[in-house]
Amino acid sequence: MKEKVILAYSGGLDTTAIIPWLKETFDYEVICCCIDCGQGNELNGLDERAKLSGASKLYIENIIDEFCDEYIMPCVQAGAVYEHKYLLGTSMARPAIAKKLVEIARKEGASAICHGATGKGNDQIRFELGIKALAPDLKIIAPWRMTDVWTMQSREDEIEYCHKHGIDLPFDASHSYSRDRNLWHISHEGLELEDPANEPNYDHMLVLGVTPEKAPDEGEYVTMTFEQGIPKTLNGKAMKVSEIITELNTLGGKHGIGIIDIVENRVVGMKSRGVYETPGGTILMEAHDQLEELILDRDTMEMKKKLGSQFAQVVYEGKWFTPLREALQAFVESTQKYVTGEVKFKLYKGNIIKAGTTSPYSLYNESLASFTTGDLYDHHDADGFITLFGLPLKVRAMKMLEVEKNKDK
């Protein structure tokens, strides 16, 4: 009986060529597994394609709700943004995919998991750290790093290899953007983006929306409610998180929201340029922040900002299944107890403009904040506070004056 390998399968040329290669090189029975994180019509026709390519079986596993509830929302609540811009669309999905691959491997009694990530990117790290954390006994096969037996170096090579093995599928040898899509975002790399001096060809590139210049001339108001940091309604309609993100993607795409062009520092040491479309995610993150700033006290907010950056780095580096991520998430969850309320904002040509926030747990006190003096605040109280708060500055300044005087003697 042949050993089984689970192949993380997208249906693209790379992973299709890997199927006969695994059979020929290792004599494995190949079981394909496509994990649906909300990539939409990219899943059409996969079963036929996998079996034509020599796979014995194809799993298509829908984990959209799990992805939203267990991976996206912890990052939203943490305010996790990598290098000030990247909302972690690919980074969050990889551990969810790795977990499902391990589940299928256990179900099938497989001895190995194979992925098609290249040796230059972050995904190889994210997949493999996830698999190692959950199933340290499983072998991991990464063809693009096995240059002694994986000799294909181009799309043309892969198409030729497929043809030799009786796989005549309509793959195009022409190069296009390298993309990764799920419910949260779509990323674009390659072509003109490989030179940072080039402006992105947005008309050719964008999938989820339009540029701000092409967005409607009239803004659109949106209302959301949250309970303990989780979105519950959109424009008065109760929805689960995945449905809210789907609707926000439509609204955000329409108004040119969430398009970023970033040169990021990959884990493997090189810089990489990409354009990310995250229309719904950008709105959801901003709406959550809008509510949170009304509720969290200053010290908690400052600490949360610091740990949010740490959380983003942990996720970006593929360290989801670690005690550190769990500890960081536990802190974040403790801050969300009172993040309940309603936010209103306007979408207009790439902008998210606040239009009002309410919460039963708001720490904003009009009597304190108003320019008119209320009962809770006495202006004279500021005298002693400033004296003590500024005491270290004053003491140092006095010492510097003393040093300067001594120099003149």
Could you report the per-residue pLDDT of 187-222, keeping only the tens digit for each?
999 999 999 999 999 999 999 999 999 999 999 999
Q: CB neighbours of 394 closer than 8 A, spacing ≥ 6? A: none
Query: Are 351 and 345 contacting, i.e. CB atoms less than 8 angstroms apart?
Result: no
Q: What integer best gives the mean pLDDT of the chain?
A: 95
pLDDT value at 367 more than 80: no
Q: Please give the pLDDT value at position 246.
A: 98
Which residues carry out catalysis? 14, 94, 123, 178
Q: How far is CA 207 from CA 21, 236, 360, in A?
A: 32, 28, 39
Q: Please give the pLDDT value at position 44.
A: 82
Q: Please give the pLDDT value at position 407.
A: 87
Q: How far is CA 255 from CA 205, 218, 274, 352, in A?
A: 16, 9, 21, 9
Q: How far is CA 179 from CA 187, 275, 373, in A?
A: 5, 10, 57
Q: Please give the pLDDT value at position 374.
A: 64
93 vs 98: CA distance, rounded Å: 9
In tens, the pLDDT along 145-179 reads 999 999 999 889 999 999 999 998 888 877 789 99
Architecture of the structural domain at 4-66+86-164? 3-Layer(aba) Sandwich (3.40)
Q: Please give the pLDDT value at position 373.
A: 60
86 vs 261: CA distance, rounded Å: 9
In tens, the pLDDT along 256-306 reads 999 999 999 999 999 999 999 999 999 999 999 999 999 999 999 999 999
Lowest mean pLDDT among 31-45, 114-128, 343-357: 31-45
In tens, the pLDDT along 299-345 reads 999 999 999 999 999 999 999 999 999 999 999 999 999 999 999 99
Average confidence (pLDDT) over 38-49: 86
Write the class of the CATH domain 178-296+339-358: alpha beta
Q: What is the dihedral of CA 15, 18, 19, 21, to 10 degrees?
A: 170
Q: Please give the pLDDT value at position 170.
A: 80
Q: Please give the pLDDT value at position 128.
A: 98
Lowest mean pLDDT among 22-26, 392-396, 401-405: 401-405
Lowest mean pLDDT among 44-48, 109-113, 185-189: 44-48
